[in-house]
C-alpha cells in the first residue's frame, strides 16, 4: 500500500463518525425538545427575562446565560430533521411551536422594555443584534452542523451549550421587542432579519447532516401521500435555499464594500486645503458612501482624481455622495482662505485647550495621590507597635491661631486667623494615657513614615 493510501486511510479513520453515533437516540432527543409545554414554557420565560435584562444593562455575561437556557433551538432542529426524513407531521409541529415561542418572546420582550425604567445612551449589545453580517451566516451554518453531530453521538459533551451561545437565537427576538417598545423599526427589522438568518442556516445545516448521517426516513404507507410529501418538502427546501443563498451573497457583497470603502477613505483623507472630517458607509443595496468635507470646496480636477482613485478600489461614482461646507456669501477665493484658516485655528485652539485641561487634571491627580494617607496600612502598623491604642483617627488639616503673638513679635503672619501651613492630625485613642516618651516616639516615627514633619499626635483616653 502506498504512502498516500496509508494517509488517506488514516484520515478516513479519524474523521469517521458513523461508528460513534446513534441516530435513533438523536431522533428521540430532537422530538422531545420541540413542544412548547411543561418545563419548556418556564425555561423560555426565564430566558426572555434574562436576555432582556442583559440587553438593558449592556451585560454580555447575562446575555450568554440567556442563550444557554433558551429552548428555541429545539423546534429549529426539529424542522430541519423533518425536512431531512420527509416527516410532514414533524415539520408542522416544529413550525407551530416555533411560531408560538417567537410570538411569546417578542411580546414579553416588548412589555419588558415598555416598563423598564432604564434607557441606555449607548445600547451596544442591542445595536449588535441589528446588523447581520456574513459571519452570522457562517456561525449559524457550522453551529447547526455541530449541534446535530452532538445530539447524534453516543457520548454527550458540552457542544450544545457552545452552539446555543454561538447562534444566539434569543437576543435578536428580545431586541425586536425593544424596537417595538420604542417604535424603532431599524431595531425591529434588523433583529428579526438576524433571527431569520440564524433560523434559515441552522435549518439547512440540520437538513444536510440528517441526510449525511442517514437518519431513518419517516414511514408513509400511502404511496400518493409519500409522493406528495416529497414534493412539498422539495418545494420548502427550494424556498429556503434561494433566500439563504441570496442573503449570503448580499452579505458578502456588503462586507466587501465596507472593507474597500474604509480602506479608500483612510488612505485619502486630505485633498489640498480640504479634508474628510466624517463619513457614513452603507453596505446595503449595492453600497453607498456619504463623504463630508471641510475647508475649501473641491476643485473639478480634485473631484475627478478622487473618483478615479475610488474606482481603483471598486467604488463607482454613483456610490459616492460628497457633502461640502459651502458658503454662498464668499465673494472670492481669499474669503475661502480666511474661512479655512479660521477652521484650522479653532481646531488648534480647541486641541490646545483640552490638552491644557488634561494636564491640569493630571497634575491635580498626581498631587492628590502624593498626599493621600495610607490609612489602613498606618493603622495596622501602629497597632502592632502600640497594642494599647484602641482607635486611630487620621486627617489632614490646617493650623489656626486663636491668640495674638507675644508683645514685640507680632507680624502679619502671626495675626489671628487661618495659617497657610498644613498639618496631619492623628488622634490615638487609648484606655489609659500614653507616656510622654511613647507619644513623642510615636509622633517622630509617623513623621518619618509619612514623610511629613507637620504630623501632630494627640492622645485621647
User: Tell me, what DSSP letter sits at residue 451?
Assistant: T
pLDDT at site 338: 46
Cell (9 digits) for 344: 484650522
Percent pLDDT > 90 in the chain is 6
In angstroms, the CA 372 to CA 365 distance is 10
Q: Is the pLDDT of residue 219 over 80?
A: no
In terms of pLDDT, which residue wins out, 455 or 272?
Answer: 455
Average pLDDT, the chain: 78
Per residue in 339-368, pLDDT (tens digit) is: 455 555 556 666 777 787 888 888 777 776
Distance CA 209, CA 215 (A): 9
What is the model's pLDDT at position 384? 81
Each residue's pLDDT tens digit, 79-108: 989 888 888 889 889 999 999 999 999 999
Give pTM, 2 decimals. 0.57
Q: What does the pLDDT read at residue 97?
A: 92
Place of cell 452579505: 251
Nearest to 198 by CA among 141, 130, 255: 141
pLDDT (tens digit, 9 = 90+) per residue, 156-192?
665 666 677 666 788 889 989 989 988 888 889 888 8
CB atoms under 10 Å from CB of 227, counted, come to 11
Mean local confidence (pLDDT), 24-30: 87
pLDDT per residue over 296-310, tens digit each? 777 888 888 888 888
Which residues, in sequence order, are CB contacts of 33 under 8 Å at separation 6+?
40, 71, 73, 74, 75, 77, 78
Q: Does residue 386 contact residue 442 with C-beta atoms inside 8 Å? A: yes
DSSP of 118-181: ---SS-HHHHTTS---HHHHHHHHHHHHHHHHHHHBSS--SHHHHHHHHH--HHHHHHHHHHHH
* 217 vs 352: which has the higher pLDDT: 217
Residues 28-79: pLDDT tens digits? 888 888 888 888 888 888 888 888 888 888 788 888 888 888 888 889 999 9
In the predicted model, is pLDDT for residue 316 greater than 50?
Answer: yes
Would you report the helix, strand and coil content of the chain in percent, each value rounded to 5? 65, 15, 25
Amino acid at each position: 500500500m502506498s504512502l498516500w493510501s496509508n494517509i488517506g486511510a488514516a484520515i478516513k479513520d479519524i474523521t469517521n463518525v458513523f461508528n460513534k453515533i446513534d441516530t435513533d437516540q438523536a431522533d428521540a432527543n430532537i422530538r422531545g425538545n420541540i413542544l412548547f409545554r411543561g418545563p419548556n414554557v418556564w425555561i423560555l420565560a426565564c430566558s426572555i427575562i434574562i436576555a432582556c435584562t442583559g440587553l438593558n444593562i449592556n451585560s454580555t455575561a447575562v446575555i450568554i446565560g440567556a442563550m444557554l437556557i433558551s429552548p428555541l433551538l429545539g423546534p429549529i432542529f426539529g424542522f430541519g430533521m423533518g425536512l431531512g426524513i420527509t416527516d410532514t407531521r414533524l415539520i408542522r409541529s416544529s413550525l407551530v411551536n416555533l411560531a408560538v415561542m417567537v410570538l411569546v418572546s417578542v411580546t414579553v420582550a416588548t412589555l419588558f422594555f415598555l416598563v423598564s425604567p432604564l434607557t441606555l445612551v449607548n445600547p451596544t449589545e442591542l445595536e449588535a443584534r441589528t446588523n447581520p453580517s456574513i459571519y452570522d451566516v457562517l456561525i449559524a451554518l457550522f453551529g447547526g452542523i455541530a449541534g446535530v453531530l452532538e445530539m447524534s453521538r453516543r457520548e454527550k459533551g458540552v457542544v450544545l451549550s457552545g452552539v446555543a451561545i454561538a447562534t444566539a437565537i434569543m437576543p435578536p427576538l428580545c431586541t425586536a421587542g425593544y424596537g417595538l417598545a420604542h417604535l424603532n423599526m431599524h431595531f425591529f427589522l434588523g433583529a428579526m432579519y438576524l433571527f431569520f438568518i440564524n433560523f434559515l442556516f441552522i435549518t439547512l445545516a440540520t437538513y444536510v447532516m440528517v441526510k449525511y448521517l442517514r437518519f431513518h426516513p419517516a414511514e408513509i404507507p400511502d404511496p400518493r401521500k409519500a409522493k406528495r410529501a416529497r414534493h412539498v418538502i422539495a418545494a420548502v427546501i427550494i424556498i429556503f435555499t434561494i433566500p439563504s443563498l441570496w442573503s449570503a451573497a448580499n452579505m458578502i457583497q456588503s462586507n466587501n464594500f465596507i472593507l474597500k470603502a474604509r480602506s479608500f477613505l483612510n488612505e485619502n483623507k486630505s485633498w489640498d486645503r480640504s479634508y474628510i472630517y466624517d463619513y457614513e458607509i452603507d453596505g446595503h443595496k449595492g453600497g453607498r458612501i456619504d463623504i463630508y468635507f471641510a475647508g475649501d470646496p473641491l476643485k473639478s480636477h480634485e473631484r475627478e482624481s478622487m473618483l478615479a482613485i475610488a474606482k481603483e478600489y471598486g467604488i463607482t461614482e454613483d456610490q459616492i455622495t460628497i457633502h461640502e461646507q459651502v458658503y454662498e456669501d464668499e465673494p472670492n477665493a481669499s474669503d475661502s482662505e480666511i474661512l479655512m484658516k479660521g477652521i484650522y485655528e479653532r481646531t488648534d485652539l480647541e486641541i490646545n485647550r483640552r490638552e491644557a485641561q488634561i494636564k491640569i487634571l493630571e497634575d491635580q491627580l498626581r498631587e492628590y495621590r502624593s498626599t493621600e494617607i495610607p490609612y489602613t496600612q498606618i493603622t495596622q502598623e501602629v497597632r502592632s507597635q502600640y497594642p494599647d491604642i484602641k482607635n486611630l483617627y487620621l486627617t489632614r488639616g490646617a493650623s489656626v491661631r486663636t491668640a495674638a503673638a507675644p508683645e514685640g513679635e507680632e507680624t502679619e503672619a502671626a495675626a489671628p486667623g487661618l495659617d497657610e501651613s498644613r498639618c496631619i492630625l492623628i488622634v490615638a485613642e487609648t484606655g489609659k494615657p500614653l507616656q510622654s516618651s511613647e507619644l513623642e516616639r510615636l509622633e517622630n516615627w509617623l513623621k518619618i513614615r509619612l514623610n511629613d514633619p507637620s504630623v501632630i499626635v494627640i492622645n485621647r483616653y
